[in-house]
Amino acid sequence: MAKLSMNQLINFSEQLATMLEAGLPLSRALEVSGRQARGRAAVAVRTLRGLIEKGATFTDALEQSGVFPDFYVRLAEVGESGGALDRVIADLADFYSFKRSLRRDFISRIVFPVLQYVFAVAVVTAALFILRHLGSDAGNPAWVAGVGYGLPAALVLVYYGLLKPLAGARPLHEVALRVPMIREIVLSLALARFSRVMHLTFEAGMPIAEGVERAMQVTENGAFAARAGRARRAIDAGRPLTGALQEARVFPAEFTDVVQVAEEAGKLSERFAWLTEHYTDRARFAMRAFVSVLSRLVWVLVAVVMVIFIFRMFTTYRGAIEGSLGR
242 and 118 share one domain: yes
Euclidean distance between CA atoms 100 and 303, whole angstroms: 33
Say yes or no: 228 and 303 in one domain: yes
Q: Are residues 234 and 167 in the same domain?
A: yes
The 10s digit of each residue's pLDDT in 104-152 is: 887 887 788 788 778 878 887 887 787 777 666 656 778 777 877 887 7
The confidence band for 309, taking pLDDT boundaries of 50, 70 and 90, is low
Name the nearest CA neighbour of 212 among 223, 197, 226: 197
Q: What percent of the chain has pLDDT over 90?
A: 29
Question: Per-residue confidence at 326, pLDDT binned at 50, 70, 90?
Answer: low
Range of the domain at 113: 97-327
Q: Quick check: helix, strand or coil at residue 119? A: helix
CA separation (Å) from 123 to 116, 147, 306, 315?
A: 10, 14, 9, 19
What CATH number did the domain enclosing 175 receive?
Answer: 1.20.81.30
* Same domain for 257 and 123: yes
Say if 269 falls within a structural domain.
Answer: yes
Q: Same domain, yes or no, for 229 and 317?
A: yes
Q: Is residue 20 part of a domain?
A: yes
Which band of pLDDT confidence, cut at 50, 70 and 90, is reported for residue 272?
A: very high
C-alpha to C-alpha distance for 215 and 197, rounded to whole angstroms: 5
Helix, strand, coil percentages (3-state) for the chain, rounded to 5, are 80, 0, 20
